Amino acid sequence: MIDLIYTPPMVLTSTEATAGFFAAARDGILSVQQCTACGRFRHPPRSVCPACRSFEWHWQPVSGRGHVWSWIVAYPPLLAGFAELAPYNVVTVELVEDVSIRFVGNLVEDVGRPPNEVDPATIAIGERVHAVFALADGVPVLQWVRD
């Protein structure tokens, strides 16, 4: 897995609740929490299934394929670290396995690249993308690349 070529302003950290996500991400695999009892996906992770109230769940690898559900462009004023990248896109991607599961991230030209290289005028709702992971100080960072 390659390193990000820029310094991200913020990196998620693995916790007990998200350790399975990060373990799969280190292998380049997007995984989603899935209820073992009824099979429903859920994101963000939580301990109880909102459909059947089961506490049994596991991390389910998914294809990593999705569609841009929405997007914005971030402009200053922004917090330090974010301002240096601006303007940059933030996309919300719905997964092909379950369109109710949406991840927020950045659309990039290629894995590890910064989000400000993508011309926001070219981003289209519904366009097909897939998940990629690059490392920031050893922590996998989810990014989205066009199919």
Query: Strand, coil or helix: what is 4?
Result: coil
- The conformational region for residue 136 under phi > 0 = left, psi -120 to 50 = alpha, else beta, is beta
Is residue 38 near Zn ion by the rule CB under 5 A? yes
Is residue 52 near Zn ion by the rule CB under 5 A? yes
Name which of 52 and 83 has its Cβ closer to Zn ion.
Answer: 52
Of 71, 96, 91, give the one whose Cα is nearest residue 142: 91
Is residue 32 near Zn ion by the rule CB under 5 A? no
| Rounded CA separation 82/88 (Å) | 9
The residue from 10, 48, 51, 83 that contacts Zn ion (CB under 5 A) is 51
Of 70, 90, 69, 86, give the one whose Cα is nearest residue 78: 86
The residues facing 83 across adjacent strands are none
The residue from 14, 54, 60, 92 that contacts Zn ion (CB under 5 A) is 54
Question: In angstroms, what is the minimal distance from the CB of 20 to Zn ion?
Answer: 17
Question: In angstroms, what is the minimal distance from the CB of 64 to Zn ion?
Answer: 23
Is residue 37 near Zn ion by the rule CB under 5 A? yes
Is residue 48 near Zn ion by the rule CB under 5 A? no
Name which of 62 and 68 has its Cβ closer to Zn ion.
Answer: 62
